[in-house]
A and B are shown apart, each in its own frame.
Chain A
């Protein structure tokens, strides 16, 4: 296989873009060109990886040519390729959006750190080694700290300290689990762990390690009751940063949970922890939307909805049947696109009307009708209205829950859907539909600025509509990913070369 090197292409493009943005720091125009070129090449790289994986099911690259149990391996299977493709789509959209959204004097700082964040996300999706996963999580984390606090306003400082506090603890918990896992098994390569799990001596305490790992990833994914950092911080930062956080950061945690529970699979241990996850995801669904019900800040409502929707995805994981996995992957893809889109729309509303506070907004349907459509499609896709992508995603989750007799989960999911609809209607009614009297006259945006803000939103809406009208495409891709997840022996075979 002489084209497996494409697996490294996304990481390489990110690195080159970071270096390019840093070198062109004194020349803002050049930096913008490097940034946009990087975004386009990155998108092409992730498409190339996706195409390469669709023909050869696993792409394995041993870094430094050290063979896998000893060296770090980059392993891309269908799930990783799908997530990388999504990273490419989101990174390109937010990269374009940030050209106008970030004030010119801050762009020199924003662009390099943005690409460090994307680098961390790509690395986390590509790696086949647990400690390497920790390192990429850290890269992502430090970049997110910097992006979150950029601007140094009081709200940002507060949001960042809360974000830092809980995510640092998650990170250190992950390291504790890795230390213990290394002590038990002697290896940190995911495939080697999966192979070794069944040959451990009888008195091992692996369930503690898996629980700590699940806890660390659950904090990252913002599951109940560990999610309180998310609504405290996501609404304080700049719009581009919050858009990419909302789309990608929690999903890296969910991806790690998927990998953990499918590779390190011991029925009696995982069964207990999965029922805990099931409870946690059901409570996330409900408490997320209930938290949103009392908010009047546009982005804060959306942040609470992240929690609720991640509850749906992890419910798909916790049911632990093939149909449920397909539902979880489908939901993850749908949600990434829709959530980022909603945050971008909220940024446009802020630029045009000057506020995120729903009580001060209004009349957008008559002043900017296209914006109403741009909000309508992702918002009601999130709420699960047919024929949008959210309907298919929720249908799959509900079918999986019903088929496996999780009736309480079913009721929770339906209730959460109705409350999501309520929240979206609240935003629609306050910001778009109602005719408010005098609005504060703001300098309107130039046409080119509006275009640069709207084009990424249109791109993401096209993706949502594609999934809505042709759900089977995504379903088949999710099915391929699921087939690989439920057969860890193929993964072990591909990485270690032995059965």
Chain B
């Protein structure tokens, strides 16, 4: 099961890196979303999936009675999901603003602040 999950995560990483390399900013955004999710899965696998029992302690006991799921990766994943969500929303709004301002989402056309571009003149003013 863990081995199969590792292959799945590897495939997801491949797809997201392919999307990240795209000049189209919307595809890049999807790549970021998929990459964040894949890393969250990686944290889950790294914590060893030994049990699906929720990590609670019964009333009156000091330790869990049976083998419970590892709670630490769950905490890490929750944090990572929230952080990834915040960053993704920001990137989405940024892409939207670029689309509103330039009319396209092609990253090859975002060069007006670079040297040697014929659009560089209007930046330097």
Q: Which of A135, A141, A155 contacts B112 (CB 8 A)?
A: A155
Interface 1/0s, chain B 98-116, versus A by CB < 8 A? 1001100001001111110
Q: Which of B42, B79, B87, B115 contacts A176 (CB 8 A)?
A: B42
Measured CB to CB, the closest approach of chain B to A405, in angstroms, equals 38
A165-B28, A168-B32, A357-B124 known; A182 vs B94 contact (CB < 8 Å): no
Interface 1/0s, chain A 163-186, versus B by CB < 8 A? 011001101100110111011000
Query: Which residues of chain A have C-beta atoms less than 8 A from B36's C-beta?
Result: 172
In the complex the two chains form, is B46's CB within 8 Å of A142's CB?
A: no
A157-B101, A294-B115 known; A145 vs B90 contact (CB < 8 Å): yes
Q: Which of B46, B73, B98, B102 contacts A180 (CB 8 A)?
A: B46
Task: Given contact pairs A161-B94, A164-B91, A179-B42, enumerate 5 new A-B contacts (beta carbons under 8 Å).
Answer: A142-B87, A157-B110, A158-B98, A168-B87, A180-B42
Is A138 interfacial (CB-CB < 8 Å)? yes
Complexed CA–CA distance, A171 and B73 (Å): 18
Measured CB to CB, the closest approach of chain B to A307, in angstroms, equals 16
Query: Which residues of chain B have C-beta atoms less than 8 A from A152's C-beta?
Result: 97
Measured CB to CB, the closest approach of chain B to A120, in angstroms, equals 12
Complex: chain A residue closest to B17, CB-CB? A169
Is A49 interfacial (CB-CB < 8 Å)? no
In the complex the two chains form, is B111's CB within 8 Å of A158's CB?
A: yes
Is B26 interfacial (CB-CB < 8 Å)? no
Query: Which residues of chain A have C-beta atoms less than 8 A from B87's C-beta?
Result: 138, 141-142, 145, 164, 168, 171
Is B12 interfacial (CB-CB < 8 Å)? no
Measured CB to CB, the closest approach of chain A to B62, in angstroms, equals 15
Is A464 interfacial (CB-CB < 8 Å)? no
The dominant DSSP class at the A interface is helix
Complex: chain A residue closest to B93, CB-CB? A149
Is A232 interfacial (CB-CB < 8 Å)? yes
Measured CB to CB, the closest approach of chain B to A280, in angstroms, equals 22
In the complex the two chains form, is A172's CB within 8 Å of B46's CB?
A: no
Is A159 interfacial (CB-CB < 8 Å)? yes
Is B20 interfacial (CB-CB < 8 Å)? yes
For A, the interface residue count at a CB cutoff of 8 angstroms equals 41
Is A131 interfacial (CB-CB < 8 Å)? yes
In the complex the two chains form, is B124's CB within 8 Å of A142's CB?
A: no
In the complex the two chains form, is A131's CB within 8 Å of B46's CB?
A: no
Q: Which of A157, A164, A179 contacts B43 (CB 8 A)?
A: A179
Is A154 interfacial (CB-CB < 8 Å)? yes
Measured CB to CB, the closest approach of chain A to B20, in angstroms, equals 7
Q: Which of B35, B45, B48, B79 contacts A172 (CB 8 A)?
A: B35
Q: Which of B25, B46, B86, B101 contacts A154 (CB 8 A)?
A: B101
Complex: chain A residue closest to B90, CB-CB? A145
Complexed CA–CA distance, A356 and B42 (Å): 46
A138-B87, A142-B90, A295-B115 known; A157 vs B47 contact (CB < 8 Å): no
A interface list, Cβ under 8 A from B: 131, 135, 138, 141-142, 145-146, 149, 152, 154-155, 157-162, 164-165, 168-169, 171-172, 175-176, 178-180, 182-183, 232, 235-236, 294-295, 297, 300, 355-357, 360
A158-B112, A179-B42, A179-B46 known; A169 vs B20 contact (CB < 8 Å): yes
Interface 1/0s, chain B 25-61, versus A by CB < 8 A? 1001000100110010011011110000000000000
Is B8 interfacial (CB-CB < 8 Å)? no
Q: Which of A142, A149, A160, A300 contacts B86 (CB 8 A)?
A: A142
Query: Which residues of chain A have C-beta atoms less than 8 A from B48's C-beta?
Result: 183
14 A-B pairs (CB sep. < 8 Å):
A154-B112, A155-B112, A155-B113, A155-B123, A158-B111, A161-B95, A164-B87, A165-B28, A183-B46, A183-B48, A232-B114, A355-B124, A355-B125, A360-B124
In the complex the two chains form, is A172's CB within 8 Å of B39's CB?
A: yes
Query: Which residues of chain A have C-beta atoms less than 8 A from B113's C-beta?
Result: 155, 158-159, 232, 235-236
Complex: chain A residue closest to B123, CB-CB? A155
Query: Which residues of chain A have C-beta atoms less than 8 A from B114's C-beta?
Result: 232
In the complex the two chains form, is B76's CB within 8 Å of A131's CB?
A: yes
A-B CB proximity, top 10 nearest: A183-B46, A179-B43, A155-B113, A158-B110, A179-B42, A179-B46, A357-B124, A138-B83, A175-B39, A155-B123
Complexed CA–CA distance, A122 and B28 (Å): 31
Complex: chain B residue closest to A137, CB-CB? B83
Query: Which residues of chain A have C-beta atoms less than 8 A from B46's C-beta?
Result: 179-180, 182-183
- Of residues A159, A179, A182, A295, which shows the largest number of chain B Cβ atoms within 10 Å of its Cβ? A179
Query: Which residues of chain B have C-beta atoms less than 8 A from A160's C-beta?
Result: 94
Is B80 interfacial (CB-CB < 8 Å)? yes
Query: Which residues of chain A have C-beta atoms less than 8 A from B91's C-beta?
Result: 164, 168
Complexed CA–CA distance, A158 and B121 (Å): 15
Complexed CA–CA distance, A380 and B90 (Å): 39
